[in-house]
Amino acid sequence: MISLILHGGAWNIPNEIVGAHRNGVSLALEKGWKILERGGHALDAIEQTIRSMEDDPIFDAGKGSFLNELGEIELDASIMNGTSLKCGAIAAAQNIRNPISLARMVMEKSENVLLTGLGAVRFAKEHGMPVCRNDDLLVPRELKRWKELQQSKSFSPKDSFRADLPSDTVGAIAMDEKGNIAAGTSTGGTPNKHPGRVGDSPLIGCGTYADSQVGGVSCTGWGEGIIKVVLAKTVIDHMEMSGADGDAAALFGIERLKKKVDGYGGIIVLDKNGRPSVAFNTPRMARAYRTSEMNAPFVEV
């Protein structure tokens, strides 16, 4: 069975932009699915699925990302091959249009797992990846939001998930026809974050994990809380050690996030057989999935 599941963030998505989120995850699913249908590798499907959402300004990844306190865009991403356990990630990197592609480049063209800031951008240039201007990733909506947040003295990143501020981290997990499972996550982080802040998305085991013998996970939500409970690996370990299915494991992860650190967010899971699962404790979560056993894709916000 081939399978693909993706998310476009978990938060209180307002009614007026539900359609845009639905369209964004639907288009991304279609792009990744075509690769799997043609016999492509799970990594290729993941990269193109996430690139589609990075290019869509409705999400907080790539174009349309949040601004930090200084009005800059810093991006995080990670990707993992569940068969070899090779992985790559970048964090707090500026001027990168598609962070997931740079994360894959780190995985495949270096012995490193995580590169940050100027080092990540230097690596991109050394390997021929074009960089862009900060303004190329900036959209008017986020500039307006940033200006408003400069007037607030009580805002904390956790408010993004409790209130109506967006949290549109994106992620995906795929299983190809050979049974390879791959997972990836990409984000612009939290609104008005401190420069250099790194969340869960680029941290293997926190925001992303894949093991083809067990399954794959991608997380979205309050990054600091997700890091504290090592959420992605917690879900994988629960499946492996207890024999839990993806539904039970995803729910276990969300319950632990809330119980241990009062955290908010969402989880997508593929088990080793390609069955997709979702759990979240926010009002809404943009997600989509399809397997070769389904007659049509599932898309929901």
**Catalytic pick from 49, 83, 116, 169?**
169
Q: What is the radius of gyration, based on Cα positions, of the chain? A: 17
For CA atoms 29, 215, 280, 298, the dihedral sign is positive
Three-state SS string over 7-27 comes to: EEEEECCCHHHHHHHHHHHHH
Q: Which residues pair with 278 in a beta bridge?
A: 268
Q: For residue 5, which phi and psi values (nearest 5 degrees)?
A: -135, 145
CA distances from residue 100 to 77, 109, 254 in whole angstroms, order as listed? 5, 14, 25
Q: What does DSSP assign to residue 6?
A: E
CA 173 to chain centre: 10
Residue 164's φ and ψ, nearest 5 degrees, are: -100, 15
Closest of 221, 213, 223 to residue 267, by C-alpha = 221
272-275, Cβ contacts within 8 angstroms, sequence gap of 24 or more: 272/181, 272/212, 272/213, 272/214, 272/215, 273/1, 274/1, 274/2, 274/3, 274/175, 275/3, 275/245, 275/246
Is 83 a residue of the active site? no
Residue pair 90/120 in contact (Cβ under 8 Å)? The answer is: yes
Backbone φ/ψ region at 191: left (φ over 0), alpha (ψ -120 to 50), beta:
beta
d(CA 204, CA 279): 20
Task: List the catalytic residues.
Answer: 169
